[in-house]
Amino acid sequence: MDKNLDLTIIIPLNKWSEEVKDYLDRAVDSIALSTVKPSKVIFVVSSIIENDFIPYSKKTFEELKTLGIDTPICYPTEKTDFCEQINQIVKEVDTKYFSILEYTDYYGKTWLENVEKHINLNKEISMYLPIVNVYNEPGDFLRFYNEQYWAQGFTSNDLGFITEDALKVLWDMNISGGIINTQDFIELGSLKPSIKLYYWYEFMLRFCNQKKTAYVIPKSLYNHILFKQEMEADEAKFYYDLCSKEYWYKEDRNKTYIKK
């Protein structure tokens, strides 16, 4: 078997049910069916569901191990917040790259193969993103994410490259499924849990401002399920506006929304 990609896939879980299991089966299958495999898979499991998850994990771990993937780690945590879970586990990652696979999502079969080809061509890029197919909960196609960076004239840079200025024009992106340089993510301060809903947008502004390079590979090879966000408009606007002020700082300054 060819050497696996120097990549850890992180799957965060903070609830468990038959519906979650069905989604997760599809997500894990997408790893197993990938033409290029990752080195590791880590399940970040909230401690409140750890006992329910163990029976599932044993069978899954063995199946992935037969594919040359290092025995996946079930990493229990007291944290249930997505950003806190990711920040905690990325510190444990020992591969050059990591990717976040939401349990409701799934990779296209050749996504990692495409990433591997681009890494071999340019090792200076810190983040590789796919064009994302976005679906609603019933499974109807809604739109693409990340495709704007292949629109002629959208940025002053070459096609596919993300810029700080372009992010200020159109913030709506999908980072899950992307391949991110582990050390760059840590050095930039990771995600900011206090910024609700728009934490990836703030991180991308910070990422580009610090002269890191992100590139959208022109292949629609990640599938994302879009769930309705339960947040009032005033609060959502507060966090959106906060991004343009806070990305200058690596640390989370813990700005909070105060309801009027």
In a domain, 15, yes or no: yes
Q: Is the pLDDT of residue 1 over 70?
A: no
In a domain, 255, yes or no: no
Number of compact structural domains in the chain: 1
For residue 60, the tally of other CB atoms under 10 A from its CB is 20
Q: Is the pLDDT of residue 2 over 70?
A: no
> Mean pLDDT across the stretch 213-220?
96
73-82 per-residue burial string, b: 16 or more CB within 10 A, e: under 16: bbbbbebebb
pLDDT digits (tens, 9 = 90+) for 104-144: 999 999 999 999 999 988 778 999 999 999 999 999 999 99
Q: What pTM value is reported for the model? A: 0.94
> Mean pLDDT across the stretch 204-209?
97
> Mean pLDDT across the stretch 48-68?
87
Report the CATH number at residue 83.
3.90.550.10
In a domain, 254, yes or no: no
In a domain, 159, yes or no: yes
Q: How confident is the model at residue 71 (pLDDT cuts 50, 70, 90)?
A: confident
* Strand duo 38-46 + 70-77: pairing: parallel
pLDDT at 209: 96
Residue pair 9/40 in contact by the 8 Å Cβ criterion: yes
Distance, CA of 205 to chain centre: 16
Range of the domain at 152: 5-246
In a domain, 45, yes or no: yes
In a domain, 259, yes or no: no
pLDDT at 6: 96
In a domain, 76, yes or no: yes
* Averaged pLDDT score across all residues of the chain: 91
Residues ≥6 apart with Cβ < 8 Å to 196: 231, 235, 239, 257
In a domain, 252, yes or no: no
